[in-house]
């Protein structure tokens, strides 16, 4: 189970976009990285490939390491540490270390 999931809102802790927030669009589990909407934008130069696709510069998000983001707790709206615990019905859930509420 991971601390960060798709569609979470996270805050960026380091780099050019430090302090910005965005929604997690993709988790790259094997590299412990996340792609966050609007964060760490990079320009890629696409070569022309035939008549239908001219050369272009495409902007997209670069993946950033999970340790560089912090979850924004949906309950208390603060950047927080995430813990794990088991509910009475046996389900493992994440919880906010700041407000102590279950996140999901
Ligand atoms: Zn909280």
pLDDT tens-place string over residues 65-90: 999 999 999 999 999 999 999 999 99
Residue 84 lies in a domain: no
* Contact by Cβ (8 Å): 80, 17: no
Interatomic CA distance for residues 102 and 104, integer angstroms = 6
Burial (CB < 10 A; 0-12, 13-18, 19+), residue 44, is exposed
Residue 86 lies in a domain: no
Instruction: Please tell me the total count of domains within the chain.
Output: 1
DSSP summary character for residue 102: B
Residue 15 lies in a domain: yes
In the reported structure, the alpha carbon of residue 43 is separated from the centroid of ligand 1 by a whole-number distance in angstroms of: 35
Residue 100 lies in a domain: no
Residue 69, domain extent: 9-49+57-77
Q: What is the CATH number of the domain that holds 19?
A: 2.30.30.30
Residue 43 lies in a domain: yes
Task: Indicate whether this model's pTM tops 0.75.
Answer: yes
In the reported structure, the alpha carbon of residue 11 is separated from the centroid of ligand 1 by a whole-number distance in angstroms of: 14
Interatomic CA distance for residues 3 and 1, integer angstroms = 7
């Amino acid at each position: 189970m991971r601390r960060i999931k798709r569609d979470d809102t996270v805050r960026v802790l380091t780099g050019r976009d430090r302090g910005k927030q965005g929604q997690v669009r993709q988790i790259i589990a094997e590299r412990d990285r996340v792609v966050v909407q609007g964060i760490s934008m990079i320009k890629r130069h696409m070569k022309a490939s035939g008549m239908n696709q001219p050369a272009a510069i495409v902007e997209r998000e670069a993946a950033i390491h999970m340790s560089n983001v912090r979850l924004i707790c949906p309950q208390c709206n603060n950047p927080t540490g995430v813990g794990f615990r088991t509910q009475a019905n046996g389900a493992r859930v994440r919880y906010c270390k700041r407000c102590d509420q279950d996140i999901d």
